[in-house]
Amino acid sequence: MHSSIQDFADKASGRWPCATISLEILGEKNEEDFERRDRFLKDFSGFLDGLQEEFRRLPEADRARCGMRGIATVIAVKVDMAKKEVVLNKLYKYCHINYHLFTGLLEIIRQNFQEYLLIVPSLRGYQLAKEIRRFLGMPEIECIYLKGDCDERLLMGESLAGLTVETVLADTEKHYRERGGLQKKADELGSGLEVSMYHQGNEGEEEVLWMQVKVALSSRS
């Protein structure tokens, strides 16, 4: 008997109260797809068990400061088997918990969907962008929304020429280096808030409000 996403959702808040979880799997066409889905649900449950255990180990005062009502993380993932895509909609950590969310999640995604594309439709944080580049290689920017001193603009298609995640990361590092360093900014923001990225171009320096990127999950071993 196959597991169901509804069964998973029904038990999620009780079994893993430290996390807000949104999981969608669609496009199953055959028995192999259903078996793959079941394996992923089993692996994902194990990942969340580890997360919950690490959260329990935190001192009570630290647990109380985790986000709203003791929520330590928010995870939102959609797997489309028909399109062969894994969409990472949200991945936030609201407290200093000794658990590597992206690397742990990436491991089980690659175990089950290695031939798929990873799509992050609203990438904002510097640290996540850096980890994607480190573990998967250079992602492709599909569109990017920038904020300058006077206005905001969306770049896509030909207007992206020459703009890469590598250049955004370099511009971001330069921005913070001139202002006391990335760690200083991270400390000022505190847990749960992402360090913004920046782009330096013909329009001057602009903050990256978000960008949509994609990368093959098989890019690196």
Tell me the pLDDT tens digit for each residue of 101-156: 999 999 999 999 999 999 999 999 999 999 999 999 999 999 999 999 889 999 99
Question: Do residues 155 and 163 lie in contact, with contact meaning Cβ atoms separated by under 8 Å?
Answer: yes
* Cα–Cα dist 128/23, whole Å: 19
Smallest CA-to-CA distance from 103 within 128, 124, 78, 76 is with 128
User: Is pLDDT at 221 greater than 50 in this prediction?
Assistant: no
In whole numbers, what is the pLDDT of the chain averaged over residues?
A: 90
Question: What's the CA gap between 60 and 78, in Å, rounded?
Answer: 33
The 8-class DSSP code of residue 125 comes to B
Q: Is 142 exposed, middle or buried (0-12, 13-18, 19+ CB in 10 A)?
A: middle
Res. 17 pLDDT band, cuts 50 70 90:
very high
Burial class (CB in 10 A: 0-12, 13-18, 19+), 149: exposed
Per-residue pLDDT, 2: 52
Burial call 93-113: b when 16+ CB within 10 Å, e when fewer: bbbebebebbeebbebbbebb
pTM: 0.90
Mean pLDDT of 88-111: 90
